[in-house]
Amino acid sequence: MEPLPLEGIRVIEFSHMVMGPSCGMILADLGAEVIKIEPRGPGDKTRYLPGSGSGLFPAFNRNKHSVQLDIAEAADRDRVLDLIDSADVLLENFRVGKMESIGFGYEELSARNPGLIYCSLKGFLSGPYGNRAALDEVVQMLGGLAYMTGPPGQPLRAGASVNDIMGGMFGVIGIQSALRVRETTGRGKLINSALFENNAFLVGTHMAQAQISGEPPRPMPTRQATWAVYDIFRDAEDNQVFVAAVSDGQWRDLCDEFGLTGLAADPDMFTNQGRVDQRDRIHRELQAALSQLSLAEIEEKCTRRGLPVAPVNTPGDLTSDPHLVASGALAHTGLPGGTSVDVPLLPLTFDGSRLGLRGDVPEPGRHNSHYRDGPTVPTGPPND
């Protein structure tokens, strides 16, 4: 079997919540040996979050090795430093100044291990906001994403931790780039990735739109239409379904498939702008046609003609989604205590193959005996 892309790379992960763990998990999925440092006792507090936080630890901690070490204790501190000395990468996402205050900043650790790539994942990059506390929701409000997501006057955070996860992804991009540079220079680098700047990157198209038009962009629920058909409709049983037609050819196919002969023959509808100008009329007639059909019939008709279509699913629906299941996109991941969850693998294939599950989410300290309790730091991962 071919080695995984990052096989042989050792990563020390000091992290909690989402941004750091997602960065570490991507590296682990790519084959790196990721050693997650957790406090003694119950371990990372993220393991025990209730409600909408209960999925965070299961989703972002597979394929890792858990070691419990208290860096306030001299013996544990020495072992952590030994692990760092043996590592290629360190990543952390604690509050600003935390790692430096305990002697684990980049300058101190780089002096010990000049080849170390140190990835610091924070709320903000350097600047006036640099020392502020941040959460995904904070930067969505500050960075205009919540404004664009909710209806006017009702800012709404996106329904996933998009900045945390993408911030972790940019951390991986930086780490991989630094590994490439190290091949030539022999030296590591300090990599910084941040939530706010990631959010600004996400809304860059809206920033450009505001400058081009000279007007504030409208929130997405009331945005100026680009196409006449790019919306949610309802089937005969009142199920919601998204249908779109974004080209002249798709418009003709839509009219043909759903019997909209009057619209198809109207010369005012021959151009995209003409259709946008009569969007309300088109919606009325299309909705009347869709109201006679089941969701399955609408999907079949649209798919047959290459028209974009999608039922409005919940995240829970995805565990039985026929495409995800058949394509092997879900990892049936064991959790401490004997339960399991199905969570997505990385949305990548290498020569048609997924980067799969090699290790379930470990219980706290699962790998203490390998990394912590021996007389020396091992040179490779445990066998399990």
Say how many C-beta atoms besides its own lie within 10 A of residue 48's C-beta. 11
175: region left, alpha or beta (phi > 0 left; psi from -120 to 50 alpha): alpha
- Which stretch of 85-94, 137-146, 168-177, 219-228 has the lowest confidence by average pLDDT? 219-228
pTM of the model: 0.95
CA 382 distance to own-chain centroid: 28
Active-site residue set: 164
Q: Which whole number is the average pLDDT over 332-346? A: 97
Q: Which domains does the chain have, with CATH numbers?
A: 10-203+328-372 (3.40.50.10540), 225-311 (3.30.1540.10)
pLDDT at site 384: 78
pLDDT at site 275: 98
Please check the confidence at residue 1 and state whether its pLDDT lies above 80: no
Please check the confidence at residue 157 and state whether its pLDDT lies above 90: yes
Letter string b/e over residues 218-257, b meaning 16 or more CB atoms within 10 A of that residue's CB: ebeeeeeeebbbebebebeeeeebebbbeeeebbbbbbeb
Q: What is the pLDDT of residues 255-293, one digit of tens each?
A: 999 999 999 999 999 999 999 999 999 999 999 999 999
Q: Report helix, strand or coil for 188.
A: coil
Burial class (CB in 10 A: 0-12, 13-18, 19+), 21: buried
* Residue 337 pLDDT grade (very low, low, confident, very high; cuts 50, 70, 90): very high
